[in-house]
Chains A and B, each alone.
Chain A
Amino acid sequence: MVVQALKDQGVDVVFGYPGGAVLPIYDEVFQQNGIQHILVRHEQGAVHAAEGYARSTGKPGVVLVTSGPGATNAVTGLTDALLDSIPIVVLTGQVPTFMIGSDAFQEADTVGITRPCTKHNWLVKDTAKLSAIIHEAFHVATAGRPGPVLVDIPKDVQFASAIYTPPQKVRTGHYQPQVKGDLDAITELVAALETAKRPVFYTGGGVINSGPAASQLLRELVDATGIPITSTLMGLGAYPASGKHWLGMLGMHGLYEANMAMHDCDLMINIGARFDDRITGRLDAFSPGSKKAHIDIDPSSINKVIKADIPIVGDIAHVLEDLLKVWKSRGRKVNAEAIAKWNARIDEWRKVDCLSFKQDGPTIKPQHALARLEALTKGHDRYITTEVGQHQMWAAQYLGFEDPNRWMTSGGLGTMGYGFPASIGVQMAHRDALVINVAGEASWLMNMQEMGTAIQFRLPVKQFILNNERLGMVRQWQELLHGERYSHSWSEALPDFVKLAEAFGAKGIRCSDPADLDDAIMEMINYDGPVIFDCLVEKHENCFPMIPSGEPHNKMLLGEASTKDAIGSKGAVMV
């Protein structure tokens, strides 16, 4: 029944790990061909893989794990998906209903534990309701602001039989979030947009989640109005990085021109972003002179952190469609003269060239490694995942994304260990694509067991590890804020990544010389199979630009100029 329900929901891949309490479902999985099951090596990996699958396809990712430890191991992935609004359906086994509450073997209060980290969850006590609940779960996961859901299925409920309810017959009840935006508010926004002198679009993951149509409409709007656009970490790719009006990412490690534009704008149009603390910095000095419009499908996002002058609740694609219609019907007006001046001012900021770096000396700079990766993979059908830390920010800065759903990173929760399993999920959905996980050595080790999965299912994922033998971002904060006391932020006893790759049956490549870098990257790209690329980089490189905590957008540290001599010279850096 479970397998039938999944098939009717269009599921073709399930990521999972068997155990006692899900054996009846695994028995069903064994006796069919429609759904492929990917055996992961740890349940956390299953959820992240499902997230990678979901983010790169727009379809919900599905996970099947057992009770107790199976469920608790999935908690990090669920929380990650909740914070980044990723549709995931997790099916967990549970001890039989008559044993619930008896501290049975591998029993855990799964719905209790996962209540705060799912959008909704269900404990199914009656087989007759099982199929309807699974269909409802898919509806809840994907409707409105997407998110993870969990269905906990006791073993006796799995064994019993009942009449199957097809998805068409399931009442999805009252859960029907509003998708159309209020026309009056949209008209108000159009009026503001027509006269704004220094407008900026600030877009987020909501544009990606809304689907490809939203990105198309956004591009049309930006290109027709000539208004500059920046995006959060989660929204990269909605507007192409090569686009004329692209400012680059904003926020704590965002680009100078993007943050300055946010600070000095007079109209901020937030499209599917949530004023996260990594974006806003110091709130009382956040974009002080601007009128703020906020389009979001989740009413609780509006006025949560920043007061919106023009709040619009609705799905991005629907709202943008209406917005364009209203704007066109009113004569496609913008304050072109002022916007031209505004763009000229932004061009001045661009000249600061905040991402510039100098690749000199015998060590590879991480920025250089990513710039070369970008240059050599640009033309490919490419998907990028990342772990969490400095490498993640550098990847966001130095890699360009032309399309949505090509960039998978753990933004809200910041989960180290996300990227590798996510790359497996992405590769499952796009078998012929080039899938690269940009990683730090410390993050990567957190879920390295998934190497077995990549090998078993012949998934040629490329693990591009920027190895600085440090928890780079932690080290950077310790340098800036904790008097250079580097408490436990270095990686000792690291494995030999080349030998590790070989031990799993994959290819290992090590590169430490800038002169060898291009050849090594090409070797990685051209190898037909999983690769661990151990790129030994400068150990004390800091990630800039950076807005230090408690500072507004116009107080950025640009780094390079002031730190070029200090960082890396033994006298200044106490290790």
Chain B
Amino acid sequence: MSALNIKKGSNKHSAYNLRPNFSDIEESHTLAVIVDNEAGVLARVIGLFSGRGYNIDSLTVAEIDHEGHTSRITIVTTGTPQVIEQIKAQLGRIVPVHRVRDLTVEGRAVERELALLKVNGEGEKRVEALRLADIFRANVVDSTLDSFTFEITGTSEKIGAFADLMRPLGLSDLARTGIAALPRGA
């Protein structure tokens, strides 16, 4: 028996398991991060997410202003409202980050993704794939006698639905770009 009046072998072995119960409803947010296009900047952003245990559901990055050396990183992330606020504050702290915009908070943004799908098949399956592609307004960008490569643009849900339909028809390869997004209106 300890003279200190606390149980020996207590299971509270660490002072670190003290996370409070903030609102635990997870939300998906689309963030646009404008950064200096310099070496290592993407690593800084990704390192922040992995180092602090945040989620990345989708990530798109490309230079948008060659003269101004800026790139736009579009990140879709999920977390509780408190975590989302932390992510934005932490991103804002990175020196080459110019601006962080939460497109989900600013109002519904236009979000689009592009995908390439390779579908191998013959006969009726091949015809069905082509028919469905037409319905989804996917374009054929490459074709052989026993395969099609489709290009499709749209929301992530649309691309997901199209891919699901192609799976039994011989989908062999799928490449998705991740989401690019802009706020609606001027």
Contact = CB atoms under 8 A, between A and B. Distances in A.
Interface of A: 111-112, 115-116, 119-120, 123, 140, 174-175, 252, 277-278, 280-284, 298-300, 302-305, 307, 479-484, 548-550, 557, 559, 562-563, 565-567, 572
Contact of A480 (B6, B19, B20, B94): B6
A548 B44 CA distance: 36
Contacts of A123: 39-40
Interface residues of B, number: 36
Contact of B9 (A305, A482, A567): A482
Counting from the closest, the 4 A-B pairs by CB-CB distance are: A566-B3, A300-B89, A549-B15, A283-B20
A112 B42 CA distance: 12
Contacts of A283: 18-20
B86 A550 contact: no
B5 interface: yes
A277 B5 CA distance: 23
A214 to B, nearest CB: 21
B3 A303 contact: no
B86 A282 contact: no
Nearest to B48: A116
A304 B19 CA distance: 11
Interface string B1-43: 0111110111011111111111000000000000000011001
B98 interface: yes
A174 B98 contact: yes
A277 B14 CA distance: 11
18 contacts: A111-B40, A116-B47, A123-B40, A140-B95, A283-B20, A298-B93, A302-B89, A304-B86, A307-B22, A484-B8, A548-B10, A549-B14, A550-B15, A557-B5, A559-B4, A562-B5, A563-B4, A566-B4
A483 B9 CA distance: 5
Nearest to B81: A303
B4 A303 contact: no
Contacts of B47: 115-116
B4 A300 contact: no
A317 B82 CA distance: 28
Contacts of B51: 116
A140 B36 CA distance: 15
A572 to B, nearest CB: 6
Contact of A557 (B4, B8, B19): B4
B172 interface: no
Contacts of B13: 481-482, 549
Contacts of B8: 483-484
Given A284-B21, A481-B12, A303 B5 contact: no
Contacts of B98: 174
Contacts of B93: 298-300
Contact of B20 (A284, A298, A483, A567): A284
Nearest to B97: A174
Contacts of B14: 549
B40 A175 contact: no
For A305, A567, A572, the residue with the greatest tally of chain B CB atoms inside 10 Å of its CB is A305
B65 interface: no
Given A281-B18, A566-B4, 17 more contacts: A111-B40, A112-B40, A115-B44, A116-B51, A175-B95, A281-B15, A283-B18, A299-B89, A299-B92, A300-B90, A302-B89, A481-B9, A481-B10, A482-B9, A483-B8, A549-B12, A565-B3
A304 B82 CA distance: 8
A481 to B, nearest CB: 6
Contacts of A548: 6, 10, 12
A131 to B, nearest CB: 18
Contacts of B3: 562-563, 565-567, 572
Contacts of B16: 277
B2 A277 contact: no
Interface string B64-106: 0000000000000000001001100110111110100000000
Contacts of B21: 284
A302 B86 CA distance: 9
Contacts of A566: 2-4
Nearest to A549: B15
B105 to A, nearest CB: 15
B20 A252 contact: no
Nearest to A304: B86
Nearest to A143: B95
Contacts of A304: 86, 89
A279 B9 CA distance: 24
A198 B56 CA distance: 44
B82 A252 contact: no
Nearest to B98: A174
A175 B93 CA distance: 9
Contacts of A277: 15-16, 18
Nearest to B51: A116
B86 A303 contact: yes
A524 B9 CA distance: 43
A119 B47 CA distance: 13
A281 B14 CA distance: 11
Contacts of A284: 20-21
Contacts of A300: 86, 89-90, 92-93
Contacts of B15: 252, 277-278, 281, 549-550
A11 B126 CA distance: 73
A112 B95 contact: no
A557 B82 contact: no
A314 to B, nearest CB: 15
A63 B93 CA distance: 24
Contacts of A481: 9-10, 12-13
Given A115-B47, A481-B13, A483-B8, A282 B95 contact: no
Contacts of A567: 3
A548 B11 CA distance: 12
Contacts of A299: 89, 92-93
Contact of A282 (B18, B90, B96): B18
A448 B43 CA distance: 36
A149 to B, nearest CB: 9
A449 to B, nearest CB: 31
A518 to B, nearest CB: 32
A307 B82 CA distance: 9
